[in-house]
Each structure stands twice: as C-alpha cells, then as structure tokens.
Amino acid sequence: MAMVLSKLMNKVEHMDITLIAGEGGLANIVTWVHMAETVEASDFLDGSQLAITTGIGLKSRDEIISLLKAFYEKNVAGVIINLGPFIEEVPEEARQFCDENNLPLYVVPWKEHLAEIMHICCYVLTKEEQRMLETSAAFKNAIFFPKQEELYVVPLSQRSFRVKWNYSITVMKIRTPAKNKEKRTDALCWTIEKMIKHDNKNFAVFVNEMEIILIFANITEDELLEEVKKVQINVKRLLNEGEKLYMGVGRLTKSVRCIYKSYNQAKSIQRLQARGKIQDDKIFYTSLGIYRLLMGIEDREIMKEYYSNTLKPLTDYDAVNSTDLCSTLR
C-alpha cells in the first residue's frame, strides 16, 4: 500500500489542515500513518510513514525540533502537528529545518479530530493496497492465462489500463545470499515502486515466485529504454555484497492481449544472463540480434520481423540486380 503524500492529503483537504513547510517533499510516498509523541517513540517508525504528534510528551521548543529531526532520520514521508495545549505554535527553526530537508510539515488545530484524519488516511491507503493487489492479479492472469480474457481485460480497464495500449514487461531476479530471499525480493520490489510512483502512473510492479515483474504501459520505445535503465542503475546501487541482478525487457506489445509474449521474451533474456550466455548490459529484446530469433522461434510474427529487418533487403537487392547474394550467404 503506497500513495504520493500530496494525493493522500487531498483526501483530507476539507479539514482545517495546513502545509507550513517542506513543500519540496510533497512527492514522498506514504505507506501508513503512525502516532509518535516522543523521540523514543520514533524508533517504531520504519520509513515512508506519515507521522502525527500532539506534543503531549514534549517539554520544550527544543524537543519539538529534536522530534522532527528524529522523524527525518527515520525517513518519514511527512509530519502532522496538532496545535493545542501541548504545542501552541511551531518554532521558526522547525520550519526552517523542514524546508531545508524537504520534510512536509502540516499543522492541524485542536478542534479538528485527529482520529478522523487518521481514519480517512488509513482507509485510503488500504483501498490503494487492495487496488494494487487486484491490478497485479489481473496482470498475472494476462501473462499466464492469456486466452481467458474475462480474467484481465475488464479488471485492468477498470483500473485505467486500456486494452489497446502497448505494454512491455521487465523481469528481474536477484541472486542473494540473504537467508530470507523472499523478504529481500519484496523489499526491492517496494523500493522500485517508490522509485517510479511519482514519475509514471501507467505502471505496475509486483513479485511472482521470487521474480520482480515490472510493467510499463502506454509508453514509447525511447521512454521505455530510459525508464528501465534508470531502474537498473538504481537497483544495482541498492544491492548488498554478494548480490547479483539479472533482468530482461520484452518488446512493446500491440495490446494487453499479447502481454504474455513480452513476458516470455523478458524471462528468456533474464535466464540467458543468469547462465552467462549474454552480458549484463544486454537486457533489451530489441538489441539482442540473432538471439531474438532463437528466443521466439515459435512465434512466426517474430520470425517475419527478423526477416524484414535483416534478410529482406538482401533478397530485394538480388531481385533488382540479378545477383545471387542470398545463396552465398546461405
């Protein structure tokens, strides 16, 4: 479950809640809401949460700043301070700190009910999680049960993924010495989602049998190359010692109905990398040359495309010039 902070706060804009600092962090990703009244209580935060405090555990203005610094160190997405008997106003130094570190800081007067704000935010985040789970389930059906269109065409359309859009699938697998490989894969998947969330809404990312499956939709070839390279660079930076990334990128499809072809291409590239058959930088189907033919030999459309791009100019030349270059090549 995750949502851009600015979008989440739009859900409570009817309440008296005001952004007073840290506007540069409004694209932060929120995963949940957490009350934290003291620096010690901030230890329970684990990042990307919206922290709320009434200041009941604070004794001075300096402790307000210390609490905000603790929140920042825990990588919270934003902070809501409930102004009232415990915190009458936010010190200027606190505002400056939040502005300098792009930590969104909101204030809410005591008359507003924090419980209602938390209820709305938690409800929205839960619905977002449900939406993501249903989206990933529909894409899995499109990949593994392409003939059963009722399992994915309508569900994806309801979630703004159009049938006639183009789609490309990236398959990533992490070789890791970590004892809990599933947890490590899930963590990287979550990081990738946060990485992409504020830049591109036409995407989905999820884990399936220890693979991270990343789907981009309604995108140009150049945009796809740029997005995937960005992901590859950032994921490699996050790898621990002894970890290795293998990934492949399938070509853009004509519609969601043939998304399984892109998955099979991406999966084949990822496997070739894992076996040491191709270099790590050869991740795009469109740049694999003869491997494209070998990977897609069962797909006549791929064979026709390869023929048109490589051999047809030679046969055309023979026909025009009465030469026999094709026989020489054979």
Identify the structural domains of the chain with CATH numbers, from first to last. Answer: 3-121 (3.40.1390.20), 160-298 (3.30.70.270)
Q: What is the pLDDT of residue 247?
A: 94
Show the CA angle centred on residue 54, arms to residues 51 and 56, nearest 5°: 125
pLDDT digits (tens, 9 = 90+) for 93-148: 999 999 999 999 999 999 999 999 999 999 999 998 898 899 999 999 999 999 99
Euclidean distance between CA atoms 165 and 167, whole angstroms: 6
* Res. 50: pLDDT tops 60: yes
* Between 209 and 290, residue with greater pLDDT: 209
Q: What is the pLDDT of residue 156?
A: 94
* Span 178-205, average pLDDT: 83
> What is the model's pTM?
0.72
Q: What is the pLDDT of residue 199?
A: 64
- Beta bridge partners, 49, equal 32
Q: What is the pLDDT of residue 310?
A: 87
Instruction: Check if the beta carbon of residue 45 is closer than 8 Å to that of residue 73.
Output: no
Give the residue among 225, 286, 228, 253 at the shortest CA–CA distance from 167: 253
Q: What is the pLDDT of residue 165?
A: 96
Please, what sign has the CA dihedral across residues 227, 233, 237, 238?
positive
* Res. 195: pLDDT tops 90: no
Euclidean distance between CA atoms 130 and 248, whole angstroms: 28
In sequence order, what are the residues at sequence separation of 6 or more whose Cβ sits closer than 8 angstroms to the Cβ of residue 29? 2, 3, 4, 5, 48, 77, 193, 194, 197, 198
Please report, rounded to a whole number, the percentage of residues in the chain having pLDDT higher than 90.
63
In sequence order, what are the residues at sequence separation of 6 or more whose Cβ sits closer than 8 angstroms to the Cβ of residue 183? none
Cα Dmax for the chain: 94
* Res. 183: pLDDT tops 90: no
* Res. 48: pLDDT tops 90: no
**Letter for the amino acid at 164?**
K
- Listing DSSP states for 153-215 in one string gives HHHHHHTT--TTS-EEEEEEEEE---S-HHHHHHHHHHHHHHHHHTT-SSEEEEEETTEEEEE
Q: What is the pLDDT of residue 82?
A: 94
196: its two tokens: 């992409």
* Res. 80: pLDDT tops 60: yes
Give the residue among 2, 42, 161, 21 at the shortest CA–CA distance from 91: 21
Q: What is the pLDDT of residue 1?
A: 60
* Span 57-70, average pLDDT: 88
**Mean pLDDT over the full length of the chain:** 89
Give residue 296's pLDDT band: very low, low, confident or very high (50, 70, 90): low
pLDDT digits (tens, 9 = 90+) for 146-172: 999 999 999 999 989 999 999 999 999
